[in-house]
Amino acid sequence: MKTLQCTDDKKGERVAIFPGSFDPFTCGHESIVRRALPLFDRFVIAIGVNSDKRSFMSMEQRKAWIEKVFKDDPNVEVIAYNGMTIEAAHAVGAQFIVRGVRLIQDFENEKHLAEVNRDLSGIETILLYTLPEYSHISSSIVRELYLYGQDVSSYLPKGADITLLPATNK
């Protein structure tokens, strides 16, 4: 039986990685980060490349967007990565992966990913349920509403720079 280590022997700090495409980063994502922050010494928001999706915002725009939201929090770092999440986790010294769960379907998928990630790397996944007021918000819905000219500001973090969103024809 494996014994879990809660700290990195080299630094003695608890490090978590929060991976996603964050295209765009919503108030639901922000809520997960803010609720998870007290559990860790260092929290890395990792923007991954999803080859199955066409990007709405550039990687640079997403990174700048998230950095602005957390500009006053020294424990939050934002990185971009390409490849497997566990490789990015190892690169930043993370012992934990944090994921948000909005719907029961998310839970099923996240459970399978957590098991595979633990088998491959020993890294544990912590699932946080989305607060009810954010459970209907997804990046996909925000993108679609925005592209149809709707005001999406209530779905985005207060510190987000809306000028980073792509221009629309509406």
Positions marked catalytic: 29, 53, 102, 139
Residues 6+ apart with CB under 8 A from 18: 29, 32, 33, 36, 43, 44, 45, 46, 97, 98, 99
CB 47 within 8 A of CB 83: no
Residues 6+ apart with CB under 8 A from 50: 21
CA atoms within 13 A on the CB side of 27: 17
